[in-house]
Structure 1
Amino acid sequence: MSDDRSRHDRLAVRLSLIISRLMAGESLSLKTLSDEFGVTERTLQRDFHQRL
């Protein structure tokens, strides 16, 4: 159960930071974000399509 909670917490933080940066006018790339958050570009694409 704590693994699921941890995964969801990381997802929430990741999406929150991305949205905040976009709202601030930053240009972001999948490659940079994937390196920064330690996830694949495909994971980020899935986050965007399924959760935003």
Structure 2
Amino acid sequence: MVRTDPYRPEESYHECMDCHNRVAGNEESGPCPECGGPLQNLAVSRE
């Protein structure tokens, strides 16, 4: 049985700060592919 650690996802997710499009990827992403806005890693606290 293989267990996956839910606190260490295999892919990280980024969300566009302008259009809220979500993008999956392991490396640091550039601008949003939909609108060109800045992406923020969802694993980072927004506070």
TM-score, normalised via structure 1 length: 0.24
Bigger Cα Rg: 2
Return the structure number with greater helix share. Answer: 1
Return the structure number with greater strand share. Answer: 2
Using CA pairs under 8 Å that are at least 6 residues apart, name the structure with larger relative contact order, 1 or 2: 2
